């Protein structure tokens, strides 16, 4: 649960500023979060 909170805080900081580079890295960020989510359930 603690990891999910850190991910939420990171997302709120990551998505707040508008930038082209951040938008391009959004897909990669989603993949990393997906891997973290799967690892948390295992």
23 Cβ contact partners less than 8 Å away, ≥ 6 residues apart: none
pLDDT of residue 20: 56
Rounding to the nearest 10 degrees, give the CA dihedral for residues 24, 14, 17, 15.
70
8-41 pLDDT, tens digit each: 877 777 776 655 566 667 778 788 888 888 777 6
pLDDT of residue 1: 55
pLDDT of residue 42: 57
The pTM of the full predicted model, rounded to 2 decimals, is 0.36
């Amino acid at each position: 649960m603690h990891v999910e909170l850190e991910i939420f805080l990171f997302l709120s900081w990551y998505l707040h500023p508008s930038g082209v580079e951040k938008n391009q890295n959004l897909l990669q960020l989603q993949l990393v979060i997906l891997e973290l989510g799967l690892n948390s359930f295992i």
